[in-house]
Chain A
């Protein structure tokens, strides 16, 4: 019981060191653009691949489940859009990014810890927590919403492509369904969730990397912990934010 509380306390204390003004603005901007490339742009491929195929699967499953002639086939487009915007893109893609990016952050910072690179920064008088983790947090918050909007777009395209090739629903009905009762608030809801999830992925993974002690084995354990804990926290916050924004 005490261990999770102790870990939470350590996380809060670390965040106090992370969320401060960078010591050298020019270096921060360099780091920020580097991290945007490493953490965001480097993930475009996997996000695109998963989004297209998941969009296609959602559309096919919805079409398969509509048996009643009273339900218009445009519901396939409507359901695909809602599923992708409300849940699939912000939450599932964030969970995937927690795996891909979270393990990368934790192992990178963990390796720096066990090879004394973080000690070297501290000796020089650098706030190592701020220097290493803050650009990752800011980069994630800036680039993940872009990735999620991209994922939404590709998911809906994927659904359309599946309908076009399978001919389960006409493109006219699918596009009509996508346009029915669209509320811009759903995008706001999805992007709000994304910003929270981005912060969780970068900060939790950075925390577990930073706390690593030992050697290669412990770096691997830190990386696993970072992915597991980030995913759990994302799922919990998903419920809380959904209740707050839609409940």
Chain B
């Protein structure tokens, strides 16, 4: 389980996260939702240590990540994978090179073992015979799948996905969402997905934290979210013309 306790984050005078406390459970897709600028990306970056929290704690299975030094954090970081908004594939490496990178860096496996593992995870994300392609030759959806393959190649306990659907069409978005959910259930991963896509929320939102103006405003799941009387939440959930009409 990943837990945030009273997290505060400032950028200059701007108080971006205000006493955020939240829990993310293993074997579930935990969603952080909210409008652009609400603080959800900052929260995720605080959880993974890309930003230091100004106050509060981040705990990975009761291990206080915030209090660890760089060397101690390395151990935890080898247990986590992250899917970035733009996929963040290494331009100079092939698909195989990208997925194999963590194995090269942190394991002493033989080349054959590494290739076998790479092929396994690429098959798992439905990308076969793409090993020698360069990132520039891939579509947006394929890039995301390679990034997922790279994130899970080390069998992570924790998986972070920052806007996994950004820039994708609705059908491809759905494929990526379901893939993330399948992997979460299959390996019992603690998955945290940062999104403002309501399709994702209704499709994979086992647990949802709605963040508004830097605070956790509402917590629940995909079954509850459509029936709440919370104005700010409803403004977000029914923010599009389509959802407004459907609601009527």
A interface residues (Cβ-Cβ under 8 A, vs B): 23-24, 26-27, 111-112, 115-117, 119-120, 122-126
Contacts and interface: CB of A to CB of B under 8 A. Distances in A.
Nearest to A127: B70
Interface of B: 48-50, 73-75, 77-78, 80-82, 84-86, 88-91, 101-102, 104-106, 160
Given A116-B85, A119-B84, A120-B84, A125 B104 contact: no
A116 B104 contact: no
Given A122-B50, A124-B78, A23 B105 contact: yes
Nearest to B78: A125
Contacts of A124: 77-78, 101-102, 105-106
A123 B80 contact: yes
Contacts of A125: 73-75, 77-78, 106
A125 B102 CA distance: 9
Given A124-B77, A124-B78, A116 B102 contact: no
B221 to A, nearest CB: 27
A172 B101 CA distance: 59
Nearest to A117: B88
Given A23-B105, A115-B88, A126-B105, A120 B82 contact: yes
B6 to A, nearest CB: 24
B105 to A, nearest CB: 5
A119 B50 contact: yes
Given A115-B86, A115-B88, A120-B88, 18 more contacts: A23-B105, A24-B104, A24-B105, A27-B104, A27-B105, A116-B85, A116-B86, A116-B88, A117-B89, A117-B91, A119-B88, A122-B50, A123-B81, A124-B77, A124-B106, A125-B73, A125-B75, A125-B78
Contact of B50 (A26, A123, A126): A123
Given A24-B105, A123-B80, A123-B82, A117 B90 contact: yes
